[in-house]
Amino acid sequence: MRLAKVRNLKVWWLASALVALILGGVLLLDFSSLRAPPAVFSGAVVSLPLLPHCHPVLNPQMQEGCTAQAGLRAMTLKMSGDVRPLRPFELRLILPEAVRAHATEASVDFVMVGMDMGINRYSLLKQQNGDFVGKVILPVCSIGRSDWLAKLSVVVNLPDGVTQEMWTAEMPFTAEASVVVHD
């Protein structure tokens, strides 16, 4: 009887160790291959410089937003609402009338220079009028900074129907102070 209990205990420990080993192996596996691969963009990337006195946050003095332009390529960014961390606000990306029908997708990444704020990427939805709009939220900076950089990208199919361009622009802005108080 005692020998059977010892044998059962050994089998139980062996089974438990095997299960722990299998679970540990599963946890170490990289399942990234099961996700869809990132879309590869093979067209030209065109960086648009900002026009002078650019600030995308709307207030009574700055109704025009912020424009980046290179020749006929242009994009204007407008932010409206309570532009501060942890508060949703609207972001609107406006393209020239001639290319609105040819723009297929747009996104914005919010970064802070010299500070890792994690991934803050938002896809913008195309509206019937050709603008791209999104509700976005900025994270809180733990040291109270509010200087941001909106990195915009828009994919435009050129009129030849084959070529694509990605227009990019980096637009700095300052959000309102956070409502979070530190001890």
Let me know whether 48 and 28 are in one domain: no
What DSSP character marks residue 50? B
81-111 pLDDT, tens per residue?
Answer: 888 888 899 999 999 998 899 999 999 999 9
Let me know whether 109 and 134 are in one domain: yes
pLDDT of residue 58: 56
Question: How many Cβ atoms sit within 10 Å of the Cβ of residue 89?
Answer: 19
138 part of a folded domain: yes
Let me know whether 69 and 25 are in one domain: no
Query: CA-to-CA distance for 70 and 68, rounded, in angstroms?
Result: 7
104-156 pLDDT, tens per residue?
Answer: 999 999 998 888 888 889 999 999 999 999 999 888 888 888 888 899 999 99
182 part of a folded domain: no
The values of phi and psi at residue 97, to 5°, are -55, -40
Let me know whether 71 and 95 are in one domain: yes
pTM of the model: 0.71
**Span 30-50, average pLDDT:** 68
Which tokens belong to 182?
A: 């530190």
Let me know whether 72 and 161 are in one domain: yes
State the residue range of the domain holding 7.
2-34
Let me know whether 133 and 83 are in one domain: yes
Q: Across the chain, what does the average pLDDT equal?
A: 80
- We report the CATH number of the domain holding residue 81 as 2.60.40.10
Let me know whether 26 and 100 are in one domain: no
pLDDT of residue 183: 47
pLDDT of residue 167: 95
